[in-house]
A and B are shown apart, each in its own frame.
Chain A
Amino acid sequence: MLRYAIKRIGSLAISLIVASLVIFACIEVIPGDPASFMLGINAQPDTVAALREELGLNASLGARYLSWVTGMLSGDFGTSYTYRSPVAEIIGDRLWISLPLALIALGLTVLIAFPVGILAATKRGSWADMSVMGATQLGIAIPNFWFAMLMVLLFAINLRWFSAGGFPGWEHPLAALKALTLPAIALALPQASILARVMRSALLDTLSEDYIRTCRAKGLTQRQALWRHALRNAMIPVLTIIGLQFSFLLAGAIIIENVFYLPGLGRLVFQAISQRDLIMVESVVFLLVFAVIMVNFAVDLAYAWVDPRLRGRS
């Protein structure tokens, strides 16, 4: 297990270095100058030059890359061109919304998908299975931003149970949770539909394996065979999907963040791109890449945990 983990950590480090290079190279070539963006169309050329100097944009590409990477190693992500405050602080604030939102949405996804998927698999062909298949098909087909707007219409505008959006801050924990409820549901619905279907088919696969028949022959009830043997073996594809979903929820909530005007990471990066706040874009993208790589690493470790055969290999 240890060797397996060390190998994984090595490939993780290489991925991060490559990612930082690719991100920096891609973002620095976007046309557009942050200084002229900030100063608008009445500014004089010498003013723009003065601001470029102040922002440190006149340094060479290599020097800027090095100072970015070495800064990050010590936790200093630099200063945002537009906000003019430390990038790390801004990202930190936004993470306090995006991370809980992703976790709640993922929690809801699992809470919905597991029972539904297991039910559908065990009652294959029944009306319960058919309605699960139908409902999840619908869940995948409905765009989540549209579903979010419908919820705003119903719960915020007509019933007035929720605000239409915004985030009151974690100093009001109940209100904060409430503000994340509708966005989390909107995010979770399609993900739960996907995961339920994966759960169902993975379980169906394992349930038809020889060892399950052996278990039954040994005298286990269908229920015992399911819980002790089938479920654990069905977890590999399910874990893969959960890992992908978490990365998606963390980075991909941008449309939902816009619908509910939540100050999350997605909106931050969207705004930063249009304002050419390059250092901010680079840092957020790198952070997301880092998160995705870490999630994959965790999933890899989880594979080894559910499937002991993987520990020796690789």
Chain B
Amino acid sequence: MTRWIFGTMAATALLTGAAIAKTDVTIGLQLEPPHLDPTSAAAGAIDQVLYANVFEGLMRFASDGSVINGLAEDWDISEDGKTYTFKLHSGVKFHDGTDLDSADVKFSLDRARAEDSVNAQKALFANIASVEAVDPLTVKVTLTAPQGNFLFNMAWGDAVIVAPESIDDIKVKPVGTGAFKFDDWKQGDSITLVKNADYWGDAAKLDKATFKFISEPTAAFGAMMAEDVDAFYSYPAPENLAQFEADPRFTVLAGNTEGETILAMNNKQAPFDNKLVREAVSHAIDRQAIIDGAMFGYGTPIGSHFAPHNPAYIDLTGNSEYDPEKAKALLAEAGMADGFKTTLKLPPPSYARRGGEIIAAQLRAVGIETEISNLEWAQWLEQAFRGKDFGLTIVSHTEPMDIGIYARPDYYFQYDNADLQKLMADFDVEAEGAKRTEMLQQAQTIISEDYVNAYLFQLALTTVVNAKLQGIWPDAPTQAIDLTAVSWAE
């Protein structure tokens, strides 16, 4: 036994000692995809593994969040803004060898908007009136009304192009058009992708990519330190980040996400139906204390439901500066000088659990007592999200450009403002860029000044990578780990 162990150890030492140029990468991820169909689940892990790597849409997100052409080589918008004509790249093949043509695009879009569709973002397709395959490489999409962000919608992971030939097995054997092919899924352990030699665009630099699923933060630390994984995306133990920063073997990438983290208030439930109370809560919150205490300093304060890296962003944090005295005064004005009691329902992520404790203390300081309950996601969805049974809750809204949720009066925080609803409806059909920016800024201002929710911070993305690994996106404009440009330094 001893001899065997030492023999193995010697062999391992030899293997790791030999310096061969690496062409594979292992990425650590905390959550495993439930299945591999990005068009029928909300799980971010599906897109993280497959978006841009295996599946591509007509459009796609670039690393800075801008929308660029994907499978569409070119597109044209009709005068009335209602007809989009996409010209597809020629010579694009699915991984099973079949050609991509306009019929596949028609199939994908029709499937997503069908009555029995289980697409988690079905709203992206709601405005499509018809999809027509004009010729093998031309697709005409007709909308019921002009829609300014239609191209943006087509870049989402939920809008990737799939083929009818492979749709039945997509959940376990995804077949796309991307620079990587799906190779193997050891459920509970890892997913392996290999280079697609027949890729229509710039070939991937890596031959193989493995995503390894490690949910426990201490195990993530061990795997990174032992160099079992080359990068850990969205590293789950921020308390060790300083240690990685100090270690020359590693680099810590601190980037942005689309996650607006908010203290949501139930706008239809007393006392949060009173704007004065919502304003008081907003002033009672010390954002920086939450970022420092719960997020180890990572995160950017926000004053509205909008991402700071977006060009249309305006800084509205001044509307809700930390001012406990003002908060108390506002409560008194609302007839609640003695404060009140409410519930604070927290889903599992650490921003909510750690942040919730700090927020509870800050609210207590102005007289608001909260009864904290820690919920699993499924419970949270049932009670808070669907049942609207909550006073306060903390959630990070990770969908890009989702300010439109404020125009949905039945959405869980139940904000009902006709002006904003009209503004967002106008925004949807507005095509002109400057005008759109202006409307977005108006919307940010309205919800900020109405104190719909208390806006906390933009969730940061911290990824620990091997110092020699290049090309990992620091930001997450969508939930993607695009490996097409990743390579090892010489």
Contact = CB atoms under 8 A, between A and B. Distances in A.
B226 interface: yes
Interface in B166-197: 171-172, 186-190
Contacts of B145: none
Contact of B218 (A30, A149, A167, A264): A149
A72 B321 CA distance: 60
B213 A261 contact: yes
Interface in B355-385: 376-379, 381-383, 385
A258 B116 CA distance: 38
Contacts of B399: 42
Interface in A22-69: 30-34, 36-44, 46-47, 50-51, 53-54
Interface string B225-269: 110100000000000000000000000000000000000000000
Given A50-B118, A161-B9, A169 B186 contact: yes
A260 B220 CA distance: 10
Contacts of B188: 93-94, 263-264, 267-268, 271
A274 interface: yes
Contact of B381 (A37, A50, A90, A156): A37
Contacts of A152: 219, 222, 226
Interface in A79-135: 82-85, 90, 93-94
A161 B11 CA distance: 10
A275 interface: yes
Interface stretch (B82-90, B119-127, B298-306): B119-127
Interface stretch (B35-43, B49-57, B287-295, B325-333): B35-43
B189 A166 contact: yes
B237 to A, nearest CB: 13
A276 interface: yes
Contacts of A38: 34, 41-43, 120
A5 interface: no
A78 to B, nearest CB: 15
B395 to A, nearest CB: 7
Contacts of A54: 116, 118
B226 A39 contact: no
Contacts of A138: none
A31 B8 contact: no
B2 interface: no
Given A43-B42, A275-B378, A90 B187 contact: yes
A157 B225 contact: yes
A51 B212 CA distance: 28
A301 B108 CA distance: 60
Contact of A275 (B34, B171, B223, B225): B34
A259 interface: yes
A22 to B, nearest CB: 21
A83 B35 contact: yes
Interface in A220-240: none
Given A83-B187, A274-B376, A165 B42 contact: no
A82 B34 contact: yes
A166 B395 CA distance: 31
Contacts of A174: 8
Interface string B1-32: 00000001100110010000000000000001
Interface residues of A, number: 55
Contact of B216 (A167, A178, A259, A263): A259
Contacts of A83: 34-35, 171-172, 187
A247 interface: no
A160 interface: yes
B341 interface: no
B377 A274 contact: yes
A32 B16 contact: no
B123 A44 contact: yes
Nearest to A153: B222
Contacts of B226: 152, 156-157, 160, 163-164
A268 B215 CA distance: 12
A213 B223 CA distance: 58
Contacts of B405: 42
A54 B115 CA distance: 13
Interface residues of B, number: 56
Nearest to B225: A157
Contact of B122 (A43, A82, A165, A261): A43
A101 B118 CA distance: 39
Given A36-B381, A84-B171, A164 B117 contact: no
A282 B42 CA distance: 24
B147 to A, nearest CB: 17
A178 B215 contact: no
Given A42-B402, A261-B213, A47 B120 contact: yes
Contacts of A153: 222
Contact of B42 (A30, A42, A167, A169): A42
A42 B123 contact: yes
A40 B44 CA distance: 10
B383 A31 contact: yes
Nearest to A268: B188
B386 interface: yes
B120 A43 contact: yes
Nearest to B222: A164
Contact of B222 (A44, A84, A156, A263): A156
Interface string A249-272: 000000000111111100110010
Nearest to B16: A160
Contacts of B460: none
B378 A31 contact: yes
Given A33-B378, A41-B395, A259 B121 contact: no
Nearest to B189: A263
Nearest to A39: B120
A263 B186 contact: yes
A166 B381 contact: no
A166 B117 contact: no
A39 B9 contact: no
Nearest to B34: A82
Nearest to B410: A45
Nearest to A263: B188
Contacts of A262: 189
A250 to B, nearest CB: 16
B214 interface: yes
Contacts of B8: 174, 178
A152 B377 CA distance: 31
A39 B34 contact: no
Contacts of B376: 32, 274
B220 to A, nearest CB: 9
Which 3 A-B pairs give the minimum distances between C-beta atoms? A40-B42, A263-B188, A32-B378
